[in-house]
Amino acid sequence: MKYKLGDFVRFVDEKMEGFVTRIIDDQMIGVTGEDDFEIPVLASKVTTVHGYEAPGSKKAAEADEQPISTGEFKAKGVYVGVVADAKANSVVHLYLINDTSFQLLASLTTEKQSVFKGEFGGIAAPGTATKIYSAQLADLQLWPRLIFHIVYHTKTNTEPPSPIVISEKFKAKDFSGSKKTIPVLNQAGWLIRLDEPEMVIDAQKLKESFFQSADEKAVVEKPRTEVDLHIEKLRDDYQFLNSGEMLKVQLDVFHKALDAAIVHQLPEIIFIHGAGNGVLRHEIHKLLGKHQKIQTFMDARKEKFGYGATKVLLK
């Protein structure tokens, strides 16, 4: 298969073009156009459109020409950055982020059912982001195991760290945190550190934490007067959760915000749950109806929220 996920292609027999968003088998690929519909097509019926390159990607030859920094030598900062394709959002690209002053000799191999495949091998110059792998984010559970081999190199008088050898099978929890701005690439995405620094335990602080009172340990932040419970506002990885897991996340945030409102003696609080199928609204109303600290509750400002929010008056 000569095509890769994220490649920009044009149909041979039709005036259509789009991005490769799925590798179906050795002959078939899925192409997504501007209408966001994925069309299965024979690989022989499309051709590559040259000139498109994902933002932030660097060719190995260009990376090799990067000058050695003359500033402070940075020994730490090797990551995998995961970002969505700028044109095909269903596809994510994995970048090797070299935020160090070392030149990295890197290799990525995938393994699935004892079948190994070399995906990337090359040089990552200091301060570069190099695309090393692409995949469908929704198919995360089908991703192969990723095996990284990274060797440090520098011409300066600096002792290189031990090579990095990591075998990783990514799971949904790896993408459960909020997106961050990825170093060097300067795009929002998930950041996974490969050169994890050694954990240093401060014995004195650890000792002090055992003698803190409960009041000192528990600090309840004052909640907003309007709490949005839409799942896409709460988790970046919501597409990996089933309906039961989504409901649990939403109810956990509801309980935390309601408890905080009671602690801070707010007169009222609004929960934006949306209309949808009504399950979340029903669960919230059932819990509010049994709560001793609730004076009453009602639909909140129908002209603004419709039936998608509940206003809670506290005692």
Both 181 and 217 in one domain: the answer is: no
The CA distance from 184 to 233, in Å, is 27
Both 76 and 118 in one domain: the answer is: yes
Q: Per residue in 77-124, pLDDT tens?
A: 999 999 988 777 778 899 999 999 999 999 999 999 999 999 999 999
Both 144 and 219 in one domain: the answer is: no
The CA distance from 150 to 23, in Å, is 28
Type of residue numbered 62: E
Give domain status of residue 153, yes or no: yes
With a cut of 70, say whether residue 271 has pLDDT above it.
Answer: yes
- Left if phi > 0, otherwise alpha if psi is -120 to 50, otherwise beta: which for 227? beta
Q: Per residue in 186-210, pLDDT tens?
A: 998 888 889 875 545 455 655 555 5
Q: Per residue in 134-193, pLDDT tens?
A: 988 878 888 999 999 999 999 999 999 999 999 988 877 777 667 888 999 999 888 888
Give domain status of residue 1, yes or no: no
> How does residue 275 score in pLDDT terms, banded at 50, 70 and 90?
confident
Give domain status of residue 2, yes or no: no
For residues 218 and 9, the model is more confident at 9
Both 113 and 231 in one domain: the answer is: no
What secondary structure letter does DSSP report for 60?
H
pTM of this prediction?
0.53
Both 27 and 120 in one domain: the answer is: no
Give domain status of residue 79, yes or no: yes
Look at residues 179, 200, 181 and name the one whose alpha carbon lies nearest to residue 190: 179
Determine the structural domain holding residue 175 and report its residue range. 60-193
What is the count of structural domains for the chain? 3
Both 137 and 77 in one domain: the answer is: yes
